[in-house]
Amino acid sequence: MVRARRSFLETGLYEPLRAEITKAVCEAAPGEMVDAGCGEGWYSCHILSELTKIVAEPFLSGIDISPEALRYAAKRAKEMGVFNQSSWAVASVSHLPIGTASCDCIINLFAPCEPKEFRRILRPDGLLIRVIPLEKHLWELKCAVYDQPYQNRPVLSAPEGFRLEELIPVKATITVSGEELSNLFSMTPYAHKTSASDAAKLDEIASLDTTISFGILKCRKDTP
């Protein structure tokens, strides 16, 4: 799964999403940020690199339960010259090795959300950024796999203890090569529920144009 994600993300096809998340973080200009469930650091290393241009000595803590994903993330941070402004720790998002009220911004992308723990580590008025796939996300890919595809039913609300400040839509059409299609499909939550015969339909496709459609949720920590 880590290798599939890494291979697909390296195509740059999710760049429109990463650009908008980076913009949202840079607008907030956090000094201390956490990527909760950072995976291979494809988002966080780029964001940190951009943040260094506008904030004096920003620091990023990348947390993930997978040591293999973190090895990739730390290697990426070294390659991008941001390793000294980052730390990478194997831990659960429900017990973050981060001090109470010590962080300005959390990004939590396609990884489990633990609102109570996120509230604990955020300073008052801290920002939580999440991403939700919208109704038509990967619609053409689903049509290629399923006889009766269903649209997503996104829940566009802030987690408990946060208020939704802004919903930023990101929509584009991407052209995915045959070899990356199964990597992209394996990144979806429904891949493991799909029969081998349906999934094998992707092997017959040389290239596919498909919609990507996300909502970036900018959520502010509620003050009691």
Ligand X SMILES: C[S@@+](CC[C@H](N)C(=O)[O-])C[C@H]1O[C@@H](n2cnc3c(N)ncnc32)[C@H](O)[C@@H]1O
Footprint on this chain of ligand X (rule: CB under 6 A): 37-39, 42-43, 64-66, 69, 92-93, 109-112
What is the distance of C-alpha 194 from the center of its chain? 23
Which CB, 117 or 140, lies closer to ligand X?
117
Length of the chain: 224
- DSSP annotation of 194 reads S
Residue 15 or 205 having the CB closest to ligand X: 15
Give Cα 43 to chain centroid, integer Å.
7
Least Cβ distance, residue 155 to ligand X (angstroms): 17
Residue closer to ligand X, measured from CB, 52 or 92: 92
Give the whole-angstrom CA distance, residue 214 versus residue 218. 13
Q: How far is the CB of 125 from ligand X (least distance, A)?
A: 24
Q: Of 87 and 205, which CB lies nearer to ligand X in the complex structure?
A: 87
Phi, psi (deg, nearest 5) at residue 105? -150, 135
CA distances from 100 to 34, 88, 89, 103, 105 (A): 13, 18, 17, 8, 13
Stated as kind and residue range, the H or E segment containing 62 is: strand 59-64
Residue number of the CB atom closest to ligand X: 39
Nearer to ligand X, 82 or 111 (CB): 111
Smallest separation, CB 2 to ligand X (Å): 7
Number of H helices, E strands in the chain: 8, 7
Tell the smallest beta-carbon distance from residue 116 to ligand X (Å). 14
Q: Token digits for 15?
A: 């760049």
8 Å CB contact between 92 and 67: no
| φ and ψ at residue 167, rounded to 5 degrees | -115, 115
| Nearest approach, Cβ of residue 182 and ligand X (Å) | 16
Nearer Cβ to ligand X, position 1 or 164? 1
Structure tokens at 191: 């891949």
Work out how close the CB of 36 gets to ligand X at its nearest, in angstroms, rounded to a whole number: 7
